[in-house]
Amino acid sequence: MSSPRDRLLRHPNVRVGGALVLVVALLAAFGPLVAPRDPIAQDIVHGLTDDGAPVGPCAEYWLGTDALGRDVLSRLLVGARVSLLVGAAATGISLGIGVLVGLLSGWYRGWLDTIAMRAVDVILSFPFLLLCIALVGVREEPGLSTVYLVLGLLGWTTMARVVRSKVLAEREKEYVEAARAMGMTDLRIMFREVLPNVIGPVMVLATLGIAATILAESVLSYLGLGVPPPTPSWGAMIAEGQAWYRLAPRLIFVPGSCILLTVLGFNLLGEGLRDVLDPRS
């Protein structure tokens, strides 16, 4: 048997996913420092063609400029922070709420379970985006914190359901009874005995959640409800670029690829973590 740390570092999914996530995290941390230009400065003289179209990749603008003559590379580097922050913070919130609600609900059952699960049903019965738009509107000004709070407060429902169903299955197993016979408190059994057995699907769901929130943030930005312009975020970049998708498809594909790679990174990492955390693998 090797130590969990060795197994973690040897797992191919963890290596690839971890590398991708690390790169994105570094970009988010240092992007603004290494960005070659000001991401919101418009260069009307050199950044646009004579027709007013964005210029393609060249020596001056490695990834070209967008419709307003801003440097795409700089915007990409700076935008990483928003996307990653929203993805991580929103998923963190929904993970915390979802695991707690699912654990309590599945463990205690009864009226607590009924209330929690009906609340989940109510939230899920609304179209997700519509609810987001409504909630974002509750706050006076759109901003980063509004986006991840709303996404986090709406995203925990699936997590809670998954955790609850796993807890319902686990609580009937004899090791739980053994823990009770040992004299452990309910809380201890829930968190120390049951939770580790529930964590597998939670890990996967959480990484998928990061991916989904990064996308949701881009949708909100696209609708003008995300981070207000001109602050760059990957989602907003796609939204702004779509008017030019025939002439300059890179305006969509470059930030799109970044989202894709980030999402892929988190998914691989999540699957790897699940495998490593399972002693049977």
Partner 1 sequence: MTAEPRPPVVQVKDLVKHFPVYKGLFRRQVGSVKAVDGISFDIQGGETVAMVGESGCGKTTAGRAMLRLIEPDSGEVWVSGRNVPDLDRDALRNWRQKMQIIFQDPYSSLNPRQTIGQIIGGGLLLHGIVQTAAEAEDRAKELLERVGLQPRYTSRYPHEFSGGQRQRIGIARAVALNPDFIVCDEAVSALDVSVQAQVINLLLDLKDEFDLCYLFVTHDLSVVRHIADHVVVMYLGQIVERASRADIYARPRHPYTQALLSAAPRTDPHKRRKRVILPGDVPSPINPPAGCRFHTRCPLAGPRCSAERPAAHRIADDHYVACHFYEDTTDPIDVTASSPYPR
Point out which residues bind partner 1 (CB under 8 A).
1, 173-175, 177-185, 193, 196-197, 279-280
**Min dist. Cβ of residue 169 to partner 1 (A):** 11
Place of tokens 């709406």: 154
**Min dist. Cβ of residue 10 to partner 1 (A):** 18
Contact 83, 234 (CB under 8 A): yes
Of the two residues 59 and 181, which places its CB atom closer to partner 1 in the complex? 181
Of the two residues 106 and 241, which places its CB atom closer to partner 1 in the complex? 106
Coil/strand/helix, residue 71: strand
Query: Which alpha helices (H) appear in the chain, and where do they start and end?
Result: 4-10, 12-34, 72-108, 110-125, 128-138, 144-170, 174-182, 186-188, 195-222, 234-241, 250-277
**Min dist. Cβ of residue 142 to partner 1 (A):** 43
Of the two residues 6 and 177, which places its CB atom closer to partner 1 in the complex? 177
Contact 234, 79 (CB under 8 A): yes
**Min dist. Cβ of residue 27 to partner 1 (A):** 35
d(CA 241, CA 29): 25
Of the two residues 141 and 174, which places its CB atom closer to partner 1 in the complex? 174
DSSP 181: H
Of the two residues 42 and 197, which places its CB atom closer to partner 1 in the complex? 197
Of the two residues 49 and 278, which places its CB atom closer to partner 1 in the complex? 278
**Min dist. Cβ of residue 208 to partner 1 (A):** 22
β partners of residue 25: none
- Which amino acid does the sequence have at 34? V
- Which amino acid does the sequence have at 82? V
β partners of residue 147: none
**Min dist. Cβ of residue 186 to partner 1 (A):** 10
Cis peptide upstream of residue 230 (ω within 30 degrees of 0): yes
* Tokens found for residue 18: 């971890």
